[in-house]
Amino acid sequence: MAIQGNPLDLAREIGDGFHTLTPAVLKKYGPADLKVINNSLQRILRDVRGEPSTPGDAEAIRKKSLRLQRLNQAILLISNYCREQRIPL
């Protein structure tokens, strides 16, 4: 199954918590799609890390940390799934 829509939008949705990745969801994608999703997640992760946050704003820091956690978890899930399926990233 091909990626529907923009892969960067999918990565943003994962970071914001609107979409989740599971091994069952990853089975729908081919090796090329998984590489594109992984690269998009890496790009959004870099962008989120580069966003400045004010030191006193606890809510903004919490939201940024949650986004980073979700993105890191999705990248780890894709890399482990690809390793198990012997798909090179």
Rounded to two decimals, the pTM is 0.91
- pLDDT, tens digit, for every residue of 22-78? 999 999 999 999 999 999 999 999 999 999 988 889 999 999 999 999 999 999 999
Quote the pLDDT of residue 63: 94
Positive or negative CA dihedral for 40, 41, 45, 46? negative
Q: Contact 17/75 with Cβ under 8 angstroms? A: no
Find, among 68, 63, 70, the residue nearest to 20 by Cα.
Answer: 70
Residue 81 has pLDDT above 90, yes or no: yes
Residue whose structure tokens are 């890496």: 42
Q: What kind and span of H or E run contains 79?
A: helix 58-85
Q: Where are the domains of the chain?
A: 16-49+57-85
